[in-house]
């Protein structure tokens, strides 16, 4: 039997680099937010619900959550006294997610935590490269890598476990 040699890599493994660093950042974020009893999804809902009146389905779309995950997230926020479902001020048939005063204070605290986690990640880069890194990553996110390619079987996105 002849030993096979693997193909020679001609480019850095961008998929691995982006996936691995994203995974590690999510775990660091989850650990930091857990200290105040939040998940990243709870933080996302609180912050976006404070920006404007949003329905549960609008918040699910903003946070890239399926309906079941969104219901569980809002249930947890309601149980913690951080948000509540209320009738919309513009559509009597619709219900919105309203942030309580305690929820607004928690959202401000969680935003500071998120900013600190991001800052620590960026501080791992040399000073002169941080702005360039963010600018270039932004170009990828809003340009070439902004829209998933159609596939016969959709690729699974990495999801952070809520527990």
- Domain chopping of the chain, boundaries: 15-142
pTM of the model: 0.81
pLDDT of 71-99, one tens digit each? 999 999 999 999 999 998 888 888 899 99
Average pLDDT, the chain: 90
Instruction: Please give the pLDDT value at position 137.
Output: 95
pLDDT band at 10 (very low <50, low <70, confident <90, very high): confident
Rounded Cα gap, residues 65 and 121, in angstroms: 25
Q: Which of 49, 43, 60 is nearest to 162 (CA)?
A: 43
| 126-145 tens-digit pLDDT | 999 999 999 999 999 999 99
Q: How far is CA 123 from CA 29, 120, 126, 127, 133, in A?
A: 15, 5, 7, 7, 12
Q: Which fold has domain 15-142?
A: Arc Repressor Mutant, subunit A (1.10.10)
């Amino acid at each position: 039997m002849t030993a096979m040699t693997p193909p020679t890599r001609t480019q850095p493994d961008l998929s691995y680099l982006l996936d691995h660093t994203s995974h590690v950042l999510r775990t660091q974020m989850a650990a930091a937010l857990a200290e105040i009893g939040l998940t990243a999804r709870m933080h996302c809902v609180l912050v976006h619900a404070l920006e404007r009146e949003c329905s549960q389905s609008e918040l699910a779309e903003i946070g890239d959550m399926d309906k079941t995950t969104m219901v569980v997230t809002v249930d947890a926020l309601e149980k913690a006294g951080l948000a509540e479902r209320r009738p919309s001020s513009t559509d009597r048939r619709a219900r919105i997610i309203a942030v309580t005063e305690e929820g607004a204070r928690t959202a401000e605290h969680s935003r500071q935590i998120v900013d600190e986690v991001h800052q620590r990640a960026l501080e791992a880069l040399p000073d002169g490269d941080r702005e360039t890194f963010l600018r270039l990553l932004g170009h990828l996110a809003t340009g070439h890598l902004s829209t998933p390619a159609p596939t016969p079987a959709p690729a699974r996105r990495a999801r952070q476990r809520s527990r």
